[in-house]
Amino acid sequence: MLNVKNIEVAYDKVQVLFDVSFDVKSGEIFCLLGRNGAGKTTALKSIMGLLPLKTGSIQFDNQTLSTMAPYDVPKQGIAYVPQGRGLFSELTVAQNIEIGLMVKNSGAATRERVLDIFPRLRERLKQRADTLSGGEQQMLAMARALSMEPKLLLLDEPTEGLQPSIIKLIQDVIVNMKQAGVAIVLVEHHIETVLTIADRVAFVENGRCQKIAEINDLKNNPEEIHRYLGVN
Amino acid sequence: MEFGPHLLLATLEGAISAAVLALIAVGLSIVFGIMRVVNVAHGEFYMLGAVMAWWITSHVGGHPAIGFLLALIVAPIMVGSIAALADHLILRRINYDPERTIVATIGLLYVLQQLTLMTFGADARPVEAPFNMRIALPWFENGVDGWSMYWPWGLSTTTYKLAVIVAAVVVLVGLWLFMTRTRAGLIMRATQLNRDMALAHGIPVEKIYALVFGLGAGLAALASVLVVPIQQAHYLMGGDPLLLAFIVVIIGGLGSIPGTIVAAILIGMSDGIISVFFSPTLAKILATLLVAFVLIFRPQGLMGKPAK
């Protein structure tokens, strides 16, 4: 489904990604793990076309994303929830979701389905996004992404700074999306979440993809996590 | 004339200045707010609108209203299209870099100004108002028999001047409805709030920028078509409105449309009143001083957001 092949990315003259390759299948949760500044967010932005590639290519469903205009990338069925949520802060909850619905001209049925997943947002439809609590903002970011009816979902630290009940809700939504056949690329620091829901993990270090491992292998070999991340 | 009627006359002149200035400044403000481009050529789009209005009305026969109505529709569209083309040929190629766009729009200013001079000459060109009936205005005095109304000599305005104020209000309300109630307005606001996330939601940001640049220039052109029967079209007429528009946008808060309108009323009214009672130069001096005070004591402007 998603094939990232030998990509190199730089911010002006500072190269951030070096020869990174991975692929993600439909219905799979693929996690990028690494310390801060390793290049995980850069990889997601590159997939979305927000950063140009120096070399390499990114393909999705037999389409080359890396040669498309950035605004055509989401129309292929790719949704992105960035770190910090990236909400349109001065727009209401309803307007944020509407922006997501516009991508595929989805109608009221999709909107209702998304609001059924996050019923708390239904009570706040006319509220500005920047007046929501942190947990509600993350729900809105997820709801906006789901309203795009994605085939591939890119999530950058979706559980960062959230209380356990919201983390559980977000995890459940991610697992439900996977079961519906959506491919998911997850950047996550919360190791418990990774071990609970991911299928495969790529360790990213200094802009290089050092190792790709099955999650069961990691569960049986926790020192691997310690080696790359410095955590137990 | 007594002070009261004189003040009413000055207030009316100020209201016309405020209405026209609000249209020009809102155009400048949406361009800065959405694109983060300081458009130094904005005054030249205003000038182009006036010159085009003169050209159109001088080539259309019949009642002056026919040519004027045509100019009111065609000139803003033409100027907007020229601006969109300039966006495509210049601003997009320098990636909307804030510093480079200032230099580029200064260049655009001179190109538009000199092309107009070469094409239409240096003469000031009049445009006949579509209607221009004089209306005497009443005043009230408290005499021995209580309040009574009378008609002071010289206290009058024209139907056209009142129509300019009404037209500006209608356009500004229409713009507000467009920005807040339409899908296109929602897309523009989303682009303003988060460019990258707009792209990540399928919004063609560069096309939106061209549209916004054209819309901003079109508003300036619309303002000049409205004002050209009161003033005259001239290739150097863009300077003063540009200065006042910058003053208004800074006082109102960069990118804030409500702040821009409030500041346009403040500056336009004071410009009109001070110009009538004292001199236009003093009005400009005071407005510029006001900007200096705003920059010192409230740098974000009346309704702008403080820098984070």
The partner residues of A190 in beta bridges, in order of sequence, read none
For chain B, which residues lie within 8 Å of any Cβ of chain A, measuring from their own Cβ? 183, 186-187, 189-190, 193-194, 196-197, 199-205
Tell me which residue of B176, B194, B155 sits closest to B26, measured CA to CA.
B176
C-alpha span between B189 and B33 (Å, rounded)? 9
Nearest to B201 among A45, A49, A74 (CB): A74
- What pLDDT sits at residue A87? 96
Proportion of chain A in helix, strand, coil states, percent, rounded to 5: 40, 25, 35
Q: Tell whether the model's pLDDT for residue A209 goes beyond 70.
A: yes
The structure tokens listed for A201 are: 């993990």
What percentage of residues in chain A have a pLDDT greater than 90?
Answer: 77
Mark yes or no for CB contact A73/B194 under 8 Å. no
CA-nearest of A183, A149, A147 to A47 is A183
In chain B, residues with a C-beta closer than 8 Å to the C-beta of A82 are 196-197, 200
Judging contacts by C-beta atoms under 8 Å, the chain A residues touching residue B186 are 91, 95, 98-99
3-state secondary structure of A17: strand
pLDDT tens digits for chain B (308 residues)? 678 888 888 899 899 999 999 999 999 999 999 999 999 999 999 999 999 999 999 999 889 999 999 999 999 999 999 999 999 999 999 999 999 999 999 999 999 999 999 999 999 999 999 998 999 888 888 888 888 888 888 788 899 999 999 999 999 999 999 999 999 999 999 999 999 999 999 999 999 999 999 999 999 999 999 999 999 999 999 999 999 999 999 999 988 889 999 999 999 999 888 988 888 889 889 988 998 998 899 988 888 877 65
Please determine, looking at this structure, whether the domain spanning A1-75+187-232 carries the CATH number 3.40.50.300.
yes
Residue A102 has pLDDT above 80, yes or no: yes
Q: Which residue of A has its CA nearest to B205?
A: A71
User: Which residue from A69, A89, A103 is facing B201, i.e. has the nearest CB?
Assistant: A103
pLDDT attached to residue B149: 84
Of the candidates A137, A150, A182, which has an alpha carbon nearest to the alpha carbon of residue A79?
Answer: A150
CB contact under 8 A, B202 and A103: yes
The pLDDT value recorded for residue B308 is 58
Each domain of chain B, given as residue ranges in start order, spans 3-126+210-297
Task: Dump strand ranges (E) for B77-168.
Answer: 134-136, 139-143, 146-150, 156-158
Residue ranges of domains in chain A: 1-75+187-232
- pLDDT tens, position by position, B28-75: 999 999 999 999 999 999 999 999 999 999 999 889 999 999 999 999
DSSP alpha helix (H) spans, B182-238: 183-193, 195-199, 205-227
A225 vs A78 pLDDT, higher one? A78
- Interface size A-B, in CB pairs within 8 Å, comes to 60
Tell me if the pTM is above 0.95: no
Describe the strand order of the beta sheet including A63-64 as a list of residue ranges: A14-24, A2-11, A55-60, A63-64
Question: CA nearest A150 in B: which residue?
Answer: B201
Are the CB atoms for B26 and B260 separated by under 8 Å? yes
Cα→Cα distances B306→B54, B144, B189, B288, B297, Å: 43, 56, 19, 21, 12
pLDDT reported for residue A195: 87
What pLDDT, on a 0 to 100 scale, did the predictor assign at position A232?
55
For residue B199, give the 3-state DSSP assignment. Answer: helix
Q: Nearest-CA residue of chain A relative to B203? A: A71
Of the candidates A74, A95, A98, which has its C-beta nearest B200's C-beta?
A74
- pLDDT tens, position by position, A45-63: 999 999 999 999 999 998 9
- In angstroms, the separation between the Cα of residue B229 and the nearest Cα of chain A is 40
Which residues on B lie below 8 Å from A48 (Cβ)? 199-200
SS3 category, B231: coil
Contacts of B235 (CB under 8 A, 6+ apart): B47, B51, B113, B116, B117, B120, B122
For A92, the 3-state DSSP assignment is strand
What's the pLDDT at B83?
A: 98
CA distance A218 to chain B (A): 33
> What does the pLDDT look like over A174-187, one tens digit per residue?
999 999 999 999 99
